[in-house]
Chain A
Amino acid sequence: MEKNDTDTKQKPLVNHSTYKDVIDAAKKSNDFKEIRKNIAASMVFISYFNTLIDRDMMQKVLLPYIADYEPRQNEDLDIHTFQNDLPLEDVIKTSDIKEIEDKIHKGYVLIKLENASDECLLINVSNSSMGIRQFNETENEFSVTGPKMGFVENLDVNMSLLRKKLKTPLLVTEELVIGNTSKTRVMMVYLDGITNEEHIETVRKRLSNIDFDIVWDVSALDQIISDNSNTPFPLYLTTERIDRISYTVSNGQVAILCDGSPYAISGPCTLLDFFISPEDYYYNWIIGSLFRLIRILGIFFSIFTSSIYVAVVTYHYEMIPVDLLGPLIKTRVNVPFPPLIEVVFLEITIELLREAGARLPSKIGQTLGIVGGIVIGQAAVAASLTSNILLIIVALSALASFTTPIITMSNSIRLLRFPFILMSALFGGLGIILGITILLCHLFNLKSFGTPYMVPLYPFRVNNFKDSFLRLSYKKLNERSDYLYPKLKLKYSPKVKEKRKEDINDE
């Protein structure tokens, strides 16, 4: 292994040192074009990848301009004046071969004058919106009320969307290029003077330490910079919603966006952050809190119901309420399998349905849901492969796992159910308690960018309960969370309410 390590650190594959090398290498591709033009008796080479540039701009602005260009006062064609006269904004004059190579692969047009020295002009006519979807409605994190805008695959569009929400000079972006093949632009976003510098420094350090080939998605970064890669839990919030990211950034978290990914990640975050839906803030706080509590209840329901069923039916018959005893025995009596097989069979069926539903086009997906849910479910009961009650339990726990708004967390909950079922089948109620103990030990150990994952439960922070299990009114939510150590705690100061009139008669 170690020997190979030195081998992989070989010289970079691309090692062009002269202008000619670069052009020759590029010419191997058919979409590379080189045009010669004669301006004021000197030859001009215009070269570019025609798949990367904006054709409109090229043909309507740049080429006509070059064709009509005449140097002033019959001077010789000078690269400096030529650059100043160009009617385009992003023009770079350089002689750095490496930069030239990088830029032509990003949609810049290279202009070289025959008589000039090494210096070339790089003009940005890249077409950044080409092939990018225009439709930016949130697809996975849907909400009934509130804005439905999400991120798209273009970093610049995403940044402008974010800046539209946070119109403050404090919003700072830092750009890095990650990926030795993809050269993906990755952006760190935070509020200068509010976000704690330690967090910014941690993120910056982790990101700049990355050595990777192609950054497929921001989720790849999520996994690489993760504090603990052997955990089923997501340590950073992954979301496609702009309102969600602007909320976390305004709270003092650091967000990471990446070109080509319609998702953004944000950290440091806590376990409870994953059960917050932006919708909680769009409803009245009482209703918002109720929905949040239901969602948190849903997690427990989703993880534990099927394992409790297995434990009770296999070992602890004595704790079944007496009125439930009859129905439970009646439905189970014809089932030939032990409870474990029965539950695993049904759980896997549900997982298959879910997986198939996700892969199929949405129109077929709906039909499949009905066919799978009703037909297979009913048939399994009729063929006494499972009991009626279990069908309800498994379907409900699958339903409950969908209530988690962040999809990565929803997946972890899906997974957690299986070890619990196994433990309950082996050790009964004791197994479930063992599982919970192990799970809690693991959770208490987790860290997100160096801050504890289980705040405000552990370490216990009373102040942070304002926006955890309950979503209190905006009057109370005017402070940033303690665990992020923001440099400015107050977000806004709510006005003191006018004194209430004593009686309706005073009106």
Chain B
Amino acid sequence: MMNNKFVKRMGCVALSLFLSGCIPKSIIDEVSLMHYVGFDREKKMLKASVVYPNYATEGKSTLLTAIAKNPSSLQNELGHKSEFEYEVGQVRVMIFGDKLSRYGLVDVLDTICKDPKIGVIRMVISDGSPDLILKKTLNKSPLYLKNLIDKSIEDEGIPDINLHVMYDQYFGSGIDMSLPNLKLDSKGNINIDGMGIFKGDKLKFRISNKEAFLLKLMIDRNKSGVYSFNFDKNGHKGNIGVRSLYGKHKVKVIKEDNQEKAKMDLTLNIKLEGLPKGVSLEKERDLILIKKALQKSISTEAESLLKDFQANGVDPVGLGRIYKINHRNYSEQNFYKRIYRNMKFDVNTKIIVRQTGVGNIES
């Protein structure tokens, strides 16, 4: 005889199975996955360009563009143009055009930060319209652009920025957003060219690759990159490139003579490769000479970069955040209006030469 309780229980289980009918399916080969999305502003409207890889037939990727007044109807517009359902879960890079960046990203950021399907993706800005850059990727492998940016961040001196870091900088107080900048060079190749520094959601100004590396030294744990400087001492002249291997940074905001001062200690372990004529690393004196020159060069350039940020009223290093740690009655407005403006900067660099390569061409 059937147990009444058992029947009830099984009934509940059976009924709950019907719930599965409500779950929208997205079978992997029946959705339009996109890898790159570019946003820009055109005629006071929002323009999106998306790149679909064509894995099924190994053909070329396709570029679709749509224009709408707000991000939600943009998705709808794109949906009208694609074969399958439009899915953002596999987006790897998001590019914001120059016009939109200067106008403000708030609309777009608000939409994408609510979508749980968007994972850790790279956010970049571009000099011109993202269209031009995306068009160049169509003939390349589907992941070309993502690999390009990843590699630059990994060891070419660009600060590590992704969606989560960007949210932290955007929503967090005492720090400003900074995004890598993409550019087409004169031959039409995509390359990374410095960074864009934001105030709030608006692009304020751009910095060069060299300055981006200095910024990376001050905010990133990963410090690999190449720094070049002019060496001119004791009659030895030349431009030296040193590869930074690893290191540490320590930032403090202290009060000195009634004035706030940002003190920054950088320790870098470097690899010396090419040397100017006549300099021999076997001589202790020469080695110290190069070290001192390098330390001085990095310190002064970093200080001038910080002053540059100060003059523009932006704070991508996050000094406000460091100040906040020790000050109970911190207010963001107050900090940037009164304290940051008059802040002094002091960068101390310590260089440790770890590798010099084998052999020495004596002259």
Contact = CB atoms under 8 A, between A and B. Distances in A.
Given A322-B143, A329-B56, A330-B58, A427 B23 contact: yes
Nearest to A313: B28
10 contacts: A314-B25, A314-B27, A315-B23, A318-B89, A318-B117, A322-B143, A325-B33, A325-B55, A325-B90, A329-B56
Given A314-B25, A320-B90, 19 more contacts: A313-B28, A314-B28, A317-B26, A317-B28, A318-B90, A320-B28, A323-B143, A325-B33, A325-B90, A326-B53, A326-B142, A328-B28, A329-B28, A329-B56, A338-B25, A426-B20, A426-B23, A427-B23, A431-B20
Nearest to B119: A318
A322 B90 contact: yes
B207 to A, nearest CB: 30
B29 A428 contact: no
B321 interface: no
A367 B117 CA distance: 48
Nearest to A425: B20
A385 B26 CA distance: 20
A325 B87 CA distance: 14
Interface of B: 17, 19-20, 23, 25-29, 31, 33, 35, 53, 55-56, 58, 87, 89-90, 92, 117, 119, 142-143, 146
Nearest to B87: A317
Contacts of B29: 329, 332-333, 335
Closest 9 CB pairs of A and B: A318-B89, A426-B20, A329-B55, A333-B56, A326-B55, A333-B29, A332-B29, A317-B28, A313-B28
Contact of A317 (B35, B58, B89): B89
A315 B55 contact: no
Contacts of B119: 318-319
Given A318-B90, A318-B119, A333-B56, A313 B27 contact: yes
A185 B82 CA distance: 74
Contacts of A317: 26, 28, 31, 33, 87, 89-90
Nearest to B116: A318
A173 B357 CA distance: 78
A113 B232 CA distance: 130
Interface in A425-458: 426-428, 431
A339 interface: yes
Contacts of B23: 315, 426-428
Nearest to B13: A438
B118 to A, nearest CB: 8
B253 to A, nearest CB: 40
A332 B28 contact: yes
Secondary structure at the B interface, as helix, strand, loop or mixed, is loop
Contacts of B142: 326
B144 to A, nearest CB: 12
Contacts of B26: 314-315, 317
A258 B20 CA distance: 49
Interface in A273-321: 312-315, 317-320
A256 to B, nearest CB: 31
Nearest to A430: B23
Interface in A321-370: 322-323, 325-326, 328-330, 332-333, 335, 338-339
B20 A427 contact: yes
Contacts of A326: 53, 55, 142
Given A317-B90, A330-B58, A322 B146 contact: yes
Nearest to B25: A314
Nearest to A426: B20
Contacts of B146: 322
A317 B31 CA distance: 9
Contacts of B55: 325-326, 329-330, 333
A75 to B, nearest CB: 70
A5 B53 CA distance: 72
A385 to B, nearest CB: 15
B60 to A, nearest CB: 14
A356 to B, nearest CB: 32
Contact of A330 (B31, B35, B56, B92): B56
Contacts of B31: 317
Contacts of B27: 313-314, 338-339
A74 B146 CA distance: 114
Nearest to B147: A322
Contacts of B143: 322-323
A315 B53 CA distance: 20
A45 B191 CA distance: 111
A313 B87 CA distance: 14
A378 B294 CA distance: 63
A109 to B, nearest CB: 51
Contacts of A313: 27-28
B291 to A, nearest CB: 42
Nearest to A387: B29
Contacts of A325: 33, 53, 55, 90
B284 to A, nearest CB: 40
A358 to B, nearest CB: 32
A341 to B, nearest CB: 12
Interface in A360-409: none
A328 B28 CA distance: 8
Nearest to A317: B28
Contacts of B89: 317-318
Contacts of A315: 23, 25-26
A328 B29 CA distance: 9
A271 B20 CA distance: 32
A462 B29 CA distance: 48
B135 to A, nearest CB: 21
A338 B26 CA distance: 11
